[in-house]
């Protein structure tokens, strides 16, 4: 009987110790989450009791914010336009810099969307080239388009130089 009581007490103390460790770890996790959060979000997180609730709230907040960043990136790309005196290489470099700018959204604009944005930003004198790209059965990739654009610019440049007396 004595052994049963001792075992029961040791079992309870072990359980209490696990509970204390759990509480300590939850408090530590909350502290880490709150300490690494921007100040304007802390009042929203202070009322939450468990670290999982804080984490879920942060994920929800940043997912919403991430959508705004994606839209801002698309808007910046749409606002880049080639000027009459600008070389195609500098125009494409501007596009690449905005596209590759390190912003924490984990979203890139690639493929057909990027090619369409680039073609829409060309100066009107490139209209025949743009139409030639759009009538292809398959739109080119970004790299293929860059190559085609440089070739077209050199062709236009040599044509203009040969026409000038």
CB 46 within 8 A of CB 52: no
Model confidence at 48, in pLDDT bands (50, 70, 90)? confident
Q: What is the Cα–Cα distance from 11 to 13, expressed in whole angstroms? A: 6
DSSP annotation of 143 reads H
Residue in 101, 137, 133 with CA at minimum distance from that of residue 118: 133
Q: What is the mean predicted confidence (pLDDT) over 11-28? A: 78
Residue 152 has pLDDT above 60, yes or no: yes
What does the alpha-carbon distance between residue 137 and residue 140 come to, in Å, rounded to a whole number?
A: 10
Give kind and range of the element (H or E) at residue 92. helix 88-100
- Residue 96 is predicted with a pLDDT of 84
Domain ranges, ordered by start, for the chain:
1-67, 80-165
Write down the pLDDT at residue 147: 92
pTM of the predicted model over 0.75: no
Higher pLDDT, residue 74 or 50 = 74
Q: What are phi and psi of 105, to 5 degrees?
A: -115, -10
User: Tens digits of per-residue pLDDT, 90-111?
Assistant: 888 888 888 777 555 556 667 7
Q: In terms of Cα–Cα distance, which of 123, 103, 99 is closest to 111?
A: 99
Residue 21 has what pLDDT? 82
């Amino acid at each position: 009987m004595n052994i049963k009581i001792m075992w029961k007490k040791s079992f309870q103390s072990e359980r209490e110790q696990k509970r204390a460790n759990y509480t300590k770890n939850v408090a530590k996790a909350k502290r880490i989450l709150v300490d690494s959060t921007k100040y304007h979000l802390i009042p929203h997180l202070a009322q939450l009791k468990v670290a999982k609730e804080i984490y879920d709230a942060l994920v929800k907040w940043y997912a919403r914010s991430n959508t705004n960043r994606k839209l801002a990136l698309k808007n910046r790309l749409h606002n880049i336009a080639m000027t009459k005196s600008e070389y195609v290489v500098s125009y494409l470099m501007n596009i690449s810099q905005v596209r590759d700018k390190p912003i924490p959204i984990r979203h890139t604009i690639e493929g057909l969307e990027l090619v369409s944005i680039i073609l829409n930003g060309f100066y009107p004198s490139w209209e025949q080239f743009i139409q030639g790209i759009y009538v292809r059965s398959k739109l080119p990739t970004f790299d293929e388009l860059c190559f085609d654009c440089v070739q077209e610019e050199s062709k236009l440049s040599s044509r203009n130089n040969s026409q000038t007396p």
